[in-house]
Structure 1
Amino acid sequence: MSTSNLTRLVLLALIWGTSFMLMRIASPVFGPILTTFGRASLGALAIYLFARQRGVEFHWKKNAKTYLVIGLGNTAIPFSLFAWSALHIPSAYMATMNSLAPIFTAVFGFIMLGERLSWLRISAFVLGLFGVAVLVGIGPVSVTPLVIAGVLAGMGASINYGFAATYTRMYAKEIPSLATAAGSQFAAALALLPFALPSVPHAIEYGTSSALISVVILGIVCTGIAYALFFHLISTEGASKAVTVTFLIPATASVWAWLLLDEPITPGIVAGILIVLIATAMSLGLLKKLPFVKR
């Protein structure tokens, strides 16, 4: 990977790492759905303007169904689940659940595409669940029903990411990636609109500047700019290298939350993150080059 793209990769990890902390700030004020709606709307606008500048064609009518399914699976549902989990679990927990996405992508590749699910990937799935158990069991937060629900919501978000990634491979091959990104964000925002409206009066009355700034950053930076960086990495380095950003996000999310929200970084968090990241590496096939790993 070139030095410039390595810089972009680190920058992307820093940006996406902040998203969990920002949800921890915005969701208690605006609510999970309105927070997600604001993020999707601003993200859609940012990506759309960038895509139009590059002459990308959207073919809205033709691709409406694809945009909607991807928008629900990759944005509306998982963003809402993470925004809800932000009410109950630390940023490091959410970022670790996010790292499970490649594992669930492999599972959906088996279910929807009939791809071979090797013993290595099955082991990765089991190890990933074990990592989550370690994180929750010896992490800094007491295990309560709401904490467990928050963790399950984060896992649900990753399950949706896995489905959306597989669906995109199946039905969005002919659509420019930036068009898919912008179109799916617009579809997500429209789907969320009727559920977000009831929260508007509360947001107007009790909204804070920090929560509003958090939503703006979530939309423009963590969604709009981040997508531009991610798709640039995919186009220049390939998807397999771009997805390695997954390994950096839990660390950056933990550091941001430690610096700005005083969330602790404990041995339990470190252990859980490491186990999940090893499982993710197994799922992505990054351990195949090691001599002790069977092909």
Structure 2
Amino acid sequence: MSRRGWALFLAMALIWGVPYLLIKVAVGELSPVMVVFARCVLGAALLLPWTVARGQLRPALRHWKPLLAFTVLEMTGPWLLLSYAEQTLSSSLTGLLVAGVPFVAALAARLAGEEERLTPVRLAGMGLGVVGIAVLLGLDVEGLALPPLLAVALVVVGYATAPMIVSRKLPDVPGVAASAIALTVTAVVYAPFAAPQLDEAVWAPADALLSVLALGVLCTAVALALFFALIREVGPQRALVITFLNPAVAVLLGVLLLDEPFTLGLAVGLPLIVLGCVLATRRSPVRSARCELSDVDAAVP
């Protein structure tokens, strides 16, 4: 991998481990609806003009039906559910639970008839990851309410299935264009609910406002642009490896900056989940074009 490739890789591994921290800080002062609305407005304000300038908006809108499905599964639903869940769950625990995406994605691809088969190594990885999540849940969630855990479970399903829509229905739509449209649609959906809260949100504490700003600019607009640059530089298979490091970053930031406890569940579950992800998403040497495309859109936390 070139120096530029390593720089992009490390940047993405860090950037997409940060949103869990920022969401946790933001929902301490702002409603989940306001957090999602502000994030989408900021991201769309940066990516939509770029998409229009490149002449990609009109061609992308011809595929509006699969784009709408992608939007709901990747952003509109998951981002609100994540913000809701982090009102109760720690950022580190949320990040680790979302690490279950590769397992659900592998299962969904198999059920949908994707050409790749579940090899013994991948099955072992899925089993290891499930054990890690079970250890994490068994040791760390005593006394927590069920709704936030179910919310994260729905996030995992959305993140796991949205890329299948991209690979099957949107192969000719650039990732940044799809993201710009999804951000815009999500902002419009939440605008009527966020509008009554705008006056109150403006006077929120500075740390909450700065968290939303960083979430929209750095972890959404900039991150999406860098991610597709990384794909062009190193290919989709290597680019996907960042998803193995994001949970570790989320745990580290939660412990260091939010004084979240480094529990026994985290200590045991984290390595099991990361190793399980590596094995469960291991690709065979010969890959089809469809399999390559399925790697292009990773889950955006």
TM range (shorter): 0.7 to 0.9
- After superposition, residues 81-230 of structure 1 pair within 5 angstroms as 81-118=81-118, 120=120, 121-139=122-140, 143-146=142-145, 148-200=146-198, 202-204=200-202, 207-230=204-227
What is the SS of the residue equivalent to 2:260?
A: coil
Q: Which residue type is aligned with residue 14 of structure 1?
A: L
Partners of 2:186 and 2:112 in 1: how far apart? 23
Q: Which residue type is aligned with residue 36 of structure 1?
A: V
Q: Which residue type is aligned with residue 220 of structure 2?
A: T
Structure 2 residue aligned with 1:292: none
Worse overlay, 111-120 or 257-266: 111-120
Partners of 1:112 and 1:202 in 2: how far apart? 46
1:66 aligns with 2:63: no
Q: Deviations over 1:1-33 (max 9, x none)?
A: 222211211111211111101100111321112
Residues 68 and 188 in structure 1, CA contact (< 8 A), matched pair in contact too = no
Partners of 1:178 and 1:204 in 2: how far apart? 29
Alpha-carbon shift at residue 115 of structure 1 (Å): 4.1
1:271 aligns with 2:268: yes
Structure 1 residue aligned with 2:10: 10
Residues 245 and 274 in structure 2, CA contact (< 8 A), matched pair in contact too = no
Equivalent residue pairs, number: 283
What is the SS of the residue equivalent to 1:175?
A: coil
Q: Deviations over 1:226-245 (max 9, x none)?
A: 11111111122111111111
Alpha-carbon shift at residue 105 of structure 1 (Å): 1.6
TM-score (norm 1): 0.87
Alpha-carbon shift at residue 52 of structure 1 (Å): 4.6
Alpha-carbon shift at residue 272 of structure 1 (Å): 0.9
Residues 56 and 176 in structure 1, CA contact (< 8 A), matched pair in contact too = no
Alpha-carbon shift at residue 266 of structure 1 (Å): 3.1
Alpha-carbon shift at residue 194 of structure 1 (Å): 3.1
Q: Which residue type is aligned with residue 157 of structure 2?
A: I
The Cα RMSD (Å) is: 2.3
Structure 1 residue aligned with 2:296: none
Residues 95 and 247 in structure 2, CA contact (< 8 A), matched pair in contact too = yes
Q: Which residue type is aligned with residue 91 of structure 1?
A: S
What is the SS of the residue equivalent to 2:172?
A: coil
What is the SS of the residue equivalent to 1:257?
A: helix
Structure 1 residue aligned with 2:290: none
Structure 2 residue aligned with 1:254: 251
When residues 198 and 108 of structure 1 are mapped into structure 2, their CA distance, relative to the original with a 3 A threshold, is farther
Identity fraction in percent: 27
When residues 48 and 91 of structure 1 are mapped into structure 2, their CA distance, relative to the original with a 3 A threshold, is same
Partners of 2:154 and 2:115 in 1: how far apart? 22
Alpha-carbon shift at residue 197 of structure 1 (Å): 3.5
Partners of 2:197 and 2:95 in 1: how far apart? 26
When residues 186 and 269 of structure 1 are mapped into structure 2, their CA distance, relative to the original with a 3 A threshold, is same
Q: Which residue type is aligned with residue 158 of structure 1?
A: V
What is the SS of the residue equivalent to 2:57?
A: coil
Q: Deviations over 1:159-208 (max 9, x none)?
A: 10111011111111011222112112112222222343354455356x22
Structure 1, unaligned runs of 5 or more: 289-295
Alpha-carbon shift at residue 51 of structure 1 (Å): 3.8
Structure 2, unaligned runs of 5 or more: 286-301
